[in-house]
Amino acid sequence: MRVTPTSSLNAGCPVMVERYEFKGRALTEKFQLELRPPGSGDNIADTDRLRQALERRSSCPVGIPLDLLKEIPTRLRQQEWKVTVTVGYYWPPGWGLKGLTARLVEVEPGFDYSGPFGVAVDLGSTTVAGYLWDLGVGRLVAAYSTFNAQVKVGEDILTRIHHAATSQGLRELQEDAVASINRVIALLARRANIRPHAITAGVISGNTTMVHLLLGLPPTNICRSPYVPVVNAPGFIPAEQIGLYIHPQALVYFLPGVGSYVGGDILAGILASGMHRQEDIGLLADIGTNGEMVLGNREWLVAAAGAAGPALEGGVISCGMRAEPGAVYKVYIDSQTGKITYQTIENEPARGICGSGVVDAIAQGLLAGIITQRGELRAPLASLVVVPAEESATGKPIELTTTDIQRFLRTKAAANAIMFTLLESVGCTLKDVKYFYAAGAFGEHLDVESAVVVGLYPDLPRENIISLGNSSLMGASLILTDLRKGQEVEEIARRVTYVEMNNSPRFMSHFTAGLFFPHTDLHLFPSVQDRLKSHT
Amino acid sequence: MRVTPTSSLNAGCPVMVERYEFKGRALTEKFQLELRPPGSGDNIADTDRLRQALERRSSCPVGIPLDLLKEIPTRLRQQEWKVTVTVGYYWPPGWGLKGLTARLVEVEPGFDYSGPFGVAVDLGSTTVAGYLWDLGVGRLVAAYSTFNAQVKVGEDILTRIHHAATSQGLRELQEDAVASINRVIALLARRANIRPHAITAGVISGNTTMVHLLLGLPPTNICRSPYVPVVNAPGFIPAEQIGLYIHPQALVYFLPGVGSYVGGDILAGILASGMHRQEDIGLLADIGTNGEMVLGNREWLVAAAGAAGPALEGGVISCGMRAEPGAVYKVYIDSQTGKITYQTIENEPARGICGSGVVDAIAQGLLAGIITQRGELRAPLASLVVVPAEESATGKPIELTTTDIQRFLRTKAAANAIMFTLLESVGCTLKDVKYFYAAGAFGEHLDVESAVVVGLYPDLPRENIISLGNSSLMGASLILTDLRKGQEVEEIARRVTYVEMNNSPRFMSHFTAGLFFPHTDLHLFPSVQDRLKSHT
């Protein structure tokens, strides 16, 4: 099996999209209009003639930018008053459908039935992923992802926030973000065989810091108390103002966030999960660079975030690496023989181990009795060698040391602490949670069974643990294809209550209780308890 | 008495403005806000915090341009969360109050109670006039007018439309218009001792061609059948896109027009007159470069336009000139002695005669029996010498020849023809008309009694003939100071029915009937008939 971040992104989400019916109005729409030519007794202005015809179709006001005003007389007459008109819809953030307005994006002579096209972008701190949609028929026509060029400044978000405070740093990071998105757009357009100019709407989902950097907004206050971003709800911004190489008049929508640590990417996840519409309580977790969790149902939603995740992203583990070709991402240990089997991305010789490989290896080590529930290697092992030196590309073994496992255990414990503190904040326990949604790119690659064994995911019936894949890209796509989803996500943003972890005296005790695989309270993980019994 | 175009503009309109109560919301507003500083448990983003506080005051959505987003965090903290925020209001053309939206224009640290300031501009083909308003207190703080720099291309509108079709012609005329308005703005700001940047809203009133040239829109189709402009209702356009030197984010509103020949300047006149709200029928006439008339009341409005007016603008009459220093603008003839007295603008030696001088001279000539009702000079006079050669600045007499008088008579007859054709189109006669409104700059200077004597104005009770002064500037000011007036003018634009003069078979017979002072049907001018009796 060949697995690359790109192809897995491509493969994962369309399946999810098919779960939603394609209905409602997309963020950009194309109308073929045949206007009555002016004549004696009917000599209203070209633009007003066009606007009136258009408003009968759009049922909302249509604004026309000055640059287009100049072109309209010629375009209308080129094909005898037959034109194809593209509009983009927008609304003032938080004002919903009653504020719905259209903006003229393009007027072409004659009838054209292609598109319109829109792009959904997940602006991750590591990866920038995009979907190109043909919004005329509601079809995903291309997918592509690439690394965020900002990575050269540093892997983690704090490094970038600090870099943004240096002279030219913010500009540099902004240019990197814009360039990365433009690279995705250029490739999407090439794959679909359209001009980037034909893309007349965009939706961008990203965490709060990423959105700030893309827009050139100083992110300084995001990481210092009281953690206040410049903006939570940027709303719609014309592409040309951001520097995106789609139609310059295209409007780009930014998903709103809730505070500094629950960004648009998480809101996209809620939207994609549908948890905000269900009677049953759901728990959504995005454990990537940071750990973010949302708990709730159609009546209430609470969210929290914390520093849980770094050990899953590579760099913290001694042999850790990103999910690139050559990374061990799947591990199996035969409990009888102790034989270790592994798979690498693109089947390349192993160069390191990525997050999902670490979780797999530890879970398998626990089940095989090689790793204790305290996260220690059973004597006489000094390390868990996943790939022997002679098989690896580096000439060194790919292994997990006790230090590595302890680091992972603390990450896991932090995730547990967020989860249990969040549950307690609303007087719930895990028993009240019906569904668990794994959001974000990491959740897409992770083996669910292993994640439960190590205690990272709750021990729910497996059919109730749902991997959303790249739910950030997913949520952005939903809005692109149905503007009511955009208004829904703003409604979600208003409903979410942010729970501050730093203020909770219970956080530390939950953290301590989590420093055990799967958890000190084994009753919380009955299925794992059964499987581990042999070793206790 | 020293009379200049500038001072008369200044003097004329504030009086009119005082007839209206200053109430309602101006197009730009300033709010002094003291925000609650963010803290633990209240860490919404700076911009959203500001927007929420603002929306409580504006009661409508507030959009924030990207450029301002970047500045907001610093500005909020500079004076401990005390800021003065300036917004501009706008709405999609034709959508009224339900589409009302605000746009953040400026955020200043601390409390500032000056202004906000707005500028109203009448963009005439000859003169560009502006009023600077302090919209905080609703006070006119400065007035200024200057010639439209486009005049160098040609006095009349057709010449400019043709020039716009040449290479670079449109750009040149656009730059001239922008430069002329900017000159007015610069002087207004200097007089009021404010920075032009402090002006955060604008309203521009002009005829359809002038608005097209200012916006760089091709005016070609305005003057060829079926006379279709590019746009009738440009709505709001940011100042920076037009090139106006006020606050770059300020929104500039353009009064809507009705077709090619009834522009925003006429709509401003209707608005200023209030005829659209009255039960009694009113007739509004703007006889300047062209002749435009509107008839109606609160239930219906019809409008027409035609080539009536050139003989009033100077250039067509042999000694004609614009209303500049040295122009004869007032003439009195003693019927007993035949002695002629005159006044020139700024009391400078006479260089020519302007429109109001021509009307005065002919009326006085008629009353003194020097001019016949057919528009001929009584023998043995070869000309009506208003200023003898020895008194004039040119060394030649300032006089009206029979040819001049005949030219004026045809202009007058054309105005009559528009008026009577318009009245007939709705089955009315002059008897049904209660009020006559003289709109436009020309109406401001004209002596009402003389205008009735020559038959240019209808013979109504004099108190029902109302000189609106520069009603274009007046209407623009009303909208600037009360945005509901802007929505009212759009309602008026929808209500006005344009009556095509070219299509009316009766137009020519009305024209012929008008080739007599005051009119062949003397019953229409009973008061004039009495005064002229002695000579018939």
ipTM: 0.84
Nearest CA in chain B to A96: B61
Q: Which amino acid is at A114?
A: S
Closest CA to B535 of B356, B355, B374: B374
Confidence of residue A308 (pLDDT cuts 50, 70, 90): low
Q: Which amino acid is at B518?
A: P
Query: CA B127 → CA B347, B348, B440, distances in Å?
Result: 21, 21, 11
Tell me the HSE value of A334 on the side-chain side, using a 13 A CA sphere.
6
Question: Which value, to the nearest 10 degrees, does the dihedral of the CA atoms of residues A218, A223, A229, A230 take?
Answer: -20
* CB contact at 8 A, A527 and A452: yes
Per-residue model confidence (pLDDT) at position B19? 36
Name the CATH architecture for the domain at A5-21+116-254: 2-Layer Sandwich (3.30)
| Chain B neighbors of A217, CB-CB under 8 A | 69-70
3-state helix, strand, coil in chain A (%, to 5): 40, 25, 35
Instruction: Enter the DSSP assignment of A239.
Output: H
Give tens-digit pLDDT for A24-81: 799 999 999 999 999 877 888 999 999 999 999 888 999 999 999 999 999 999 999 9
Q: Which of B43, B232, B237 sits opposite A226 (nearest CB)?
A: B43
Note the Cα B303 to chain centre separation in Å. Answer: 16
- A187 pLDDT more than 80: yes
Per-residue model confidence (pLDDT) at position A191? 95
* CB contact at 8 A, A210 and A128: no
Note the Cα A163 to chain centre separation in Å. Answer: 23
3-class state of residue A402 by DSSP: helix
Mean pLDDT by 10 residues, chain B (536 residues): 33 36 79 91 89 91 93 95 97 85 96 95 94 93 94 87 92 97 97 96 96 95 88 95 96 92 94 96 88 95 82 73 90 91 93 92 94 92 92 93 93 93 94 94 84 95 93 95 94 92 85 94 92 71
3-class state of residue A9 by DSSP: helix
Q: Max Cα separation, chain B?
A: 98
- Mean pLDDT, residues A1-20 taken together: 35
Confidence of residue A7 (pLDDT cuts 50, 70, 90): very low
Query: CA B408 → CA B154, B201, B258, distances in Å?
Result: 21, 41, 28
Q: Who has greater pLDDT, B379 or A189? A: A189
Give tens-digit pLDDT for A150-165: 999 988 888 999 999 9
User: Tokens 């009195």 identify what position?
Assistant: B332
Nearest CA in chain B to A50: B231
CA distance between the termini of chain A: 36
Q: Would you list the DSSP string of B325-360?
A: TTEEEEEEE-TTT--EEEEEGGGPPP-EE-HHHHHH
Instruction: Report CB contact under 8 Å: B48, A228.
Output: no
Is B282-310+412-530 in the same CATH topology as B28-109? no
* CB contact at 8 A, B413 and B514: yes
User: Tokens 């060194």 identify what position?
Assistant: A396
Nearest CA in chain B to A212: B70
* CB contact at 8 A, B291 and B414: yes
3-state helix, strand, coil in chain B (%, to 5): 40, 25, 35
Note the Cα A322 to chain centre separation in Å. Answer: 17
Per-residue model confidence (pLDDT) at position B380? 85
Nearest CA in chain A to B37: A226
Strand A101-109 relative to strand A82-90, pairing: antiparallel
Query: How far apart, in whole angstroms, are the C-alpha atoms of residue B255 and residue B263?
Result: 8
Instruction: Report CB contact under 8 Å: A70, B217.
Output: yes
- A244 pLDDT more than 90: yes
| Chain A neighbors of B47, CB-CB under 8 A | 230-233
Query: CA B434 → CA A87, B284, B299, B463, distances in Å?
Result: 48, 11, 15, 10
Nearest CA in chain A to B212: A70
Strand ranges for B61-175 from DSSP E: 62-63, 82-90, 101-109, 117-123, 127-134, 139-147
Q: Which residues contact B212 (CB under 8 A, 6 or more apart)?
A: B218, B219, B222, B229, B230, B231
Instruction: Enter the DSSP assignment of B1.
Output: -
- A535 pLDDT more than 90: no
Q: Helices A483-495 and A471-481, interaxial angle, to 10°? A: 130
Query: How far apart, in whole angstroms, are the C-alpha atoms of residue A452 and residue A454?
Result: 6
3-class state of residue B452 by DSSP: helix
Q: How close, in Å, is residue A102 to chain B by CA atoms?
A: 10
Interface test with B, best of A174, A217, A252, A497 (most B CBs within 10 A): A217
Between CA B8 and CA B16, with CA B13 as vertex, the angle to 5 degrees is: 140
What fold does the segment set B28-109 form as a domain?
Ubiquitin-like (UB roll) (3.10.20)
Interface test with B, best of A230, A242, A490 (most B CBs within 10 A): A230
Beta-carbon neighbour count of residue B128 at 10 Å?
30
Domain definitions of chain B by residue range = 28-109, 282-310+412-530, 314-407
One CATH from 3.30.420, 3.30.450, 1.10.3470, 3.40.10 for A274-310+408-470+478-529: 3.30.420
Query: How far apart, in whole angstroms, are the C-alpha atoms of residue B50 and residue B29?
Result: 15
* CB contact at 8 A, B271 and B485: yes
Instruction: Report CB contact under 8 Å: B48, A221.
Output: no
Question: Which value, to the nearest 10 degrees, does the dihedral of the CA atoms of residues B159, B160, B165, B170 take?
Answer: 160
Per-residue model confidence (pLDDT) at position A209? 94
* CB contact at 8 A, B393 and B319: no
The values of phi and psi at residue B152, to 5°, are -60, -25
Per-residue model confidence (pLDDT) at position A313? 63
- A310 pLDDT more than 80: no
Give tens-digit pLDDT for A274-307: 999 999 999 999 987 678 999 999 999 999 988 7
Q: Which of A42, A66, A93 sits opposite B241 (nearest CB)?
A: A66
Q: Would you list the DSSP string of A17-71?
A: HTTS---S--SEEEEEEEPPPPBTTB---HHHHHHHHHHHHHSS-EE--HHHHHH
Per-residue model confidence (pLDDT) at position A11? 32
| Chain B neighbors of A234, CB-CB under 8 A | 69
* CB contact at 8 A, B219 and B229: yes
Beta-carbon neighbour count of residue A379 at 10 Å?
6
Query: How far apart, in whole angstroms, are the C-alpha atoms of residue B199 and residue B190?
Result: 12
Instruction: Report CB contact under 8 Å: A228, B45.
Output: yes
CA distance between the termini of chain B: 36
- Mean pLDDT, residues A237-262 taken together: 94
Interface test with A, best of B71, B101, B231 (most A CBs within 10 A): B231
Query: How far apart, in whole angstroms, are the C-alpha atoms of residue A338 and residue A90?
Result: 59
Question: Per DSSP, what are the bridge partners of residue A286?
Answer: A292
* CB contact at 8 A, B291 and B265: no
Per-residue model confidence (pLDDT) at position B256? 95
Joined tokens for residue A389: 């030196």
| Chain A neighbors of B500, CB-CB under 8 A | 40-41
3-class state of residue B34 by DSSP: strand
Query: How many CB contacts within 8 angstroms connect chain A with chain B?
Result: 138
Query: How far apart, in whole angstroms, are the C-alpha atoms of residue A379 and residue A402?
Result: 11
3-class state of residue B390 by DSSP: helix
Confidence of residue A536 (pLDDT cuts 50, 70, 90): low
- Mean pLDDT, residues A172-188 taken together: 97
| Chain B neighbors of A38, CB-CB under 8 A | 226, 228
Helix (H) or strand (E) holding A287: strand A281-287
Q: Which of A61, A66, A226 sits opposite B99 (nearest CB)?
A: A61
The values of phi and psi at residue B443, to 5°, are -60, -25
Q: Which of B48, B218, B232 sits opposite A44 (nearest CB)?
A: B232
Query: CA B34 → CA A138, A427, B344, B379, distances in Å?
Result: 47, 37, 57, 81
Q: How close, in Å, is residue A81 to chain B by CA atoms?
A: 14
One CATH from 3.30.70, 3.40.50, 3.40.1130, 3.30.420 for B282-310+412-530: 3.30.420
Give tens-digit pLDDT for A380-435: 888 999 999 999 999 999 999 999 999 999 999 999 999 999 999 999 999 999 99
Nearest CA in chain A to B48: A231
Query: How far apart, in whole angstroms, are the C-alpha atoms of residue A351 and residue A361?
Result: 16
Query: CA B457 → CA B271, B284, B328, B415, B517, distances in Å?
Result: 20, 10, 21, 9, 12
Interface test with B, best of A49, A66, A68 (most B CBs within 10 A): A66
Per-residue model confidence (pLDDT) at position A4? 34
Burial B13-31 (b: 16+ CB within 10 A, else e): beebbeebeeeebbbbbbe
Instruction: Report CB contact under 8 Å: B230, A72.
Output: yes
Query: How far apart, in whole angstroms, are the C-alpha atoms of residue B63 and residue A149?
Result: 31
Instruction: Report CB contact under 8 Å: B226, A40.
Output: yes
Note the Cα A385 to chain centre separation in Å. Answer: 33
